[in-house]
Amino acid sequence: MSKYYSLLLIISLLVFSACGADGENSENGENSDRARTIVVETTIVESSEYSDFIRLTGSMEAVEDAMVSAQASGRVLSIVERGTRVNRGDIIAELDDELVRASYNVAKANYNLLVDVFNRQQPLHADSIVSTLEFNQIVTQKEQAEAQLNQAKRQLEDTRIKAPFSGRVEERMVREGELLNPGMPVVRLVNNNRLRIRAGIPERYALDIREGTPVTINLASYGAGEMDAAVSFIGAIIDPNSRTLPVEIEFPNRDGNLKPEMIVTMDITRLVLDDVITVPRTALIRGEEGMGIFVAREENGHKVARLVDIKIGESSGNRVIVTEGLSDKDEVVIIGQTNLNEGDRLNITRTHNFSGRNISQTSQIAR
């Protein structure tokens, strides 16, 4: 029995010694390697300019695009061919002016006669040989004749249809020999030197866009790269069907390669802020007391996840401005943060580079 009790005492001492060693090792942190390691992706935040853009799709049209119509009646004697380039004031079409010219000649002869009568009667009226009533009648007749002459002259000029601006004849609506009446279309004249894009601004951005707001036009699909322009017009009435405001952007067609009805995309500047920190919206952690975000901290030679409280400001699309809680060069977890707990070790597989440029996209096309 004494041997049995001695054996039990030795076993108890060995167990007690092992437990004490384990406790000491735990207190010394030798089991810290058992902390979880989570695979994540991060980004290094920096203060920079934050620009928010509205991406719109619109169609191009010529600023000067007109259907030139006849202002007089007559038979078409000549008309320019399609594709002809004309300058402002050049004759596009000529009408038969035989009857109009005869009326003009009669009006001119009548006016010349009354001018002669007026010149003869004026000194007689000054000498009181002709009464004031008779002289005033002559003056009235002369003025009426002058008005009739001017009208006949205008009608004669209208038999020659002239270009209201420089451009290219794209369509002909009549042929030689056809009879025209006032108001009938003759040709379509287009000047491609200056183009306009029409689009629609969603009503939620109505207070952000003004005439003169910078615009970047993407012409890459037409081999022209990008072009800087500005908003030339924005409407004051919202379209009840599309809930958009009409917006127009004019720009020069320097090379003449762009054509009306081409579809283009453009970025209209909505907001520009200097020296702000932005993060992807998906990186945010919503807690009971507000918003937070996981950052990677260097601790004991390892990257460790720490949850920091933040305050956010302006946001649009996938970009959010952080006003408090982050500093330059902080490394923010943007992928894998939903699996993290405070103090987890991080296995960072990729560090992304995000800019402060944000696009709020809409495909609205205004006609």
The beta strands (E) that lie in the chain are given as 37-44, 48-69, 74-79, 85-86, 91-95, 160-162, 167-172, 179-180, 185-202, 214-218, 226-234, 244-252, 263-280, 285-287, 290-299, 302-316, 319-324, 331-335, 345-352, 357-361
What SS3 class is residue 246? Answer: strand
Whether 68 shows a pLDDT value over 60: the answer reads: yes
Whether 15 shows a pLDDT value over 50: the answer reads: no
φ/ψ (deg, to 5) at 349: -95, -20
In terms of Cα–Cα distance, which of 195, 233, 255 is closest to 62? 195
Whether 5 shows a pLDDT value over 50: the answer reads: no
Confidence of residue 355 (pLDDT cuts 50, 70, 90): low
Residue-level pLDDT at 363? 43
Q: Which residue has the higher pLDDT, 356 or 87?
A: 87
Residue-level pLDDT at 125? 83
For the entire predicted model, the pTM comes to: 0.66
Whether 171 shows a pLDDT value over 70: the answer reads: yes
Average pLDDT of span 171-192: 93
Average pLDDT of span 229-240: 92
Alpha-carbon distance 311 to 22, whole Å?
44
Q: Per residue in 307-323, pLDDT tens?
A: 999 999 887 667 888 99
In terms of Cα–Cα distance, which of 195, 197, 191 is closest to 252? 195
Residue-level pLDDT at 129? 84
φ/ψ (deg, to 5) at 288: -70, -30
Alpha-carbon distance 104 to 111, whole Å?
10
Strands 48-69 and 357-361 turn out to be parallel
What SS3 class is residue 209? Answer: coil
Whether 225 shows a pLDDT value over 70: the answer reads: yes
Whether 164 shows a pLDDT value over 90: the answer reads: yes
Confidence of residue 132 (pLDDT cuts 50, 70, 90): confident
Residue-level pLDDT at 358? 54
Confidence of residue 34 (pLDDT cuts 50, 70, 90): low
Residue-level pLDDT at 360? 53
Q: Which two tokens stand for residue 211?
A: 């005439």
Q: Per residue in 78-111, pLDDT tens?
A: 999 999 999 999 999 999 999 999 999 999 999 9
Residue-level pLDDT at 223? 77
Confidence of residue 9 (pLDDT cuts 50, 70, 90): very low
Average pLDDT of span 35-43: 88
Alpha-carbon distance 360 to 56, whole Å?
9
pLDDT mean across residues, the chain: 85
Q: Which two tokens stand for residue 243?
A: 């809930």
Whether 356 shows a pLDDT value over 60: the answer reads: no
Adjacency order of strands within the sheet including 74-79: 160-162, 91-95, 74-79, 179-180
Residue-level pLDDT at 32? 47
Residue-level pLDDT at 357? 54
Residue-level pLDDT at 50? 82
Residue with tokens 């049209």: 61
In terms of Cα–Cα distance, which of 309, 305, 288, 286 is closest to 297? 305
Q: Per residue in 253-290, pLDDT tens?
A: 988 888 999 999 999 988 888 888 889 888 999 877 78
Alpha-carbon distance 144 to 146, whole Å?
5
Confidence of residue 53 (pLDDT cuts 50, 70, 90): confident
Confidence of residue 221 (pLDDT cuts 50, 70, 90): confident
What share of the chain has pLDDT > 90, as a percent?
51
Residue-level pLDDT at 33? 53
Residue-level pLDDT at 318? 79
Sorted by where each starts, the structural domains of the chain and their CATH numbers stand as 36-50+274-361 (2.40.420.20), 54-63+191-268 (2.40.30.170), 102-149 (1.10.287)
Average pLDDT of span 3-30: 46
Q: Is 164 left (phi over 0), alpha (psi -120 to 50) or beta?
A: alpha
- Give 314's contacts (C-beta < 8 A, 6+ positions apart): 50, 52, 271, 273, 320, 321
Average pLDDT of span 336-355: 86
Considering only CA atoms, give the Rg of the chain.
Answer: 42
